[in-house]
Every structure is written in structure tokens, then in C-alpha cells.
Amino acid sequence: KAGVTQTPRYLIKTRGQQVTLSCSPISGHRSVSWYQQTPGQGLQFLFEYFSETQRNKGNFPGRFSGRQFSNSRSEMNVSTLELGDSALYLCASSPYGQGYGYTFGSGTRLTVV
Amino acid sequence: SQQGEEDPQALSIQEGENATMNCSYKTSINNLQWYRQNSGRGLVHLILIRSNEREKHSGRLRVTLDTSKKSSSLLITASRAADTASYFCAPQDGGSQGNLIFGKGTKLSVKP
């Protein structure tokens, strides 16, 4: 059974640009969550999608957005990048979310210069 | 959803020793999950314990849950250098349909 696949693994972008990260969940998993991890703030929840609907949202500015497709694949987009957006972005999938463990991908390391 | 608070923040032990990490939370939960993260990589799900369970085992891992004290502990027996990682707990309450809120974790260092 394939795991959670995140692409790309590494990314370097310039301030002001936008970026799209992709996440392919485990087949059959309908819940996909996104997290940002930085040394200073730790692991912070961005948002969770279930059956193409955003079900939960963390405390991030509107520059951070996401979506989920009918095949459960998910993308997150960050517009107008800032230096502080440099982080490891983790995607996790679960069959339904509540009451089930999450399987995490290896993450996308984003560096904003 | 609520955040768990792990304690201690850091733990350093010798290979072969046991490691115990604790997690406290604030309000009633449906389940509590433990995850491990090796440096700079994704998290790995270790154990999910439901609110009506008191103890759960998985290999060298033992998790206990005390809902009256709103706390959980993770015991790793006979630690190995490969257990060196950060460990996070994530309580899930009825209001959290699908998100986990992580604390700062416990950084475990197992010295060979």
C-alpha cells in the first residue's frame, strides 16, 4: 500500500512569489490535513479537508489556501510568499479523521529567499 | 480540538534503559494519539488509545490513559539509539472532526 506522497520534496522560492504543494493520500483515505513546522512555532495546523470540503481551519492568514479533489488528492497554495513562510509543510491522511490515526508524508521543505 | 502538553521537553537516556514521556490535556477526549518524528521528517503514528481504554501495547511501546487526571504516558522499554526522535501526543475531542493539534513534544535522545 503506497504511503502519503508529497511533491516536491524541496522548493526554493523568492519573496512575493506563490507556491503550490501537492499531496496524494493513501488510497481510500478521505481526510487530508496540512501542517506547517518551523523551529520557532513547532507543528501548526493549517487546514483539513474531507470529501472536497474544508472541515477545519487553523489560524493562518488568507494567503494560505487549499483544496481537495474528487480523488482525495490535495493541494495547498501560499501566495505572496514571505521569509517567515520558510518551513517544512506536512500533509497527513486518514480514513475519516476523527477516531483514526493519521499517516504523514515526508513533507515539502520550502525555503523563501 | 485541543493541544496536548508533553513533559519533559527533553529526555536523555542510555541504550537499554526505559523512557517515559507524559502528556496532559484540558478537556474530555474521544481518543489520544502518540506520534514520533525523526529529525526533519514526517510524523509516524505510534498508538491511538480511546477514552474507554486504560492501557495499550505495541511492541516495546506501552501507553496508558487516565481520563480522571486528563493525562497519558508513553513508555518505551529497552530503548535503542534508533528511538532517538521527538514524540508528540495529540488528544482528539468530540469537537475535532479531523484535525490534530500538536504541542512542542518530548525530544528523546538515546545514547549508545
- What is the edge-to-edge ordering of all strands in the sheet holding B85-92? B10-14, B106-111, B85-92, B31-37, B43-50
| pLDDT at site A100 | 86
Average pLDDT estimate for B26-34:
91
Is the CB of residue A14 less than 8 Å from the CB of residue A113?
yes
The confidence band for B95, taking pLDDT boundaries of 50, 70 and 90, is low
Q: In angstroms, how far is CA A21 from the centroid of its own chain?
A: 7
| pLDDT at site A2 | 79
Is the CB of residue B111 less than 8 Å from the CB of residue B13?
yes
CB pairs under 8 A between A and B: 76
CB-CB under 8 Å, A107 with B42: yes
pLDDT (tens digit per residue) in A79-100:
999 999 999 999 999 998 878 8
| pLDDT at site B96 | 57
CB-CB under 8 Å, A100 with B48: yes
| pLDDT at site B40 | 78
Among partner residues A31, A56, A104, which is closest to B42 by beta-carbon distance? A104
DSSP E strands, A14-102: 19-24, 31-38, 42-50, 53-57, 64-68, 74-78, 87-94
Asked if omega into A25 is within 30° of 0 (cis), the reply is: no
| pLDDT at site B100 | 85
Is the predicted pLDDT of residue B18 greater than 60, yes or no? yes
Is the predicted pLDDT of residue A20 greater than 70, yes or no? yes
Radius of gyration of the CA atoms of chain B, in A: 13
CA separation for the pair A43, A40 (Å, rounded): 9
pLDDT (tens digit per residue) in B42-84:
899 999 999 999 999 999 999 999 999 999 999 999 999 999 9
CB-CB under 8 Å, B98 with A45: no
The confidence band for B3, taking pLDDT boundaries of 50, 70 and 90, is confident
| pLDDT at site A1 | 64
Q: CB distance from A99 to chain B under 8 Å?
A: yes
Average pLDDT estimate for A64-85:
97
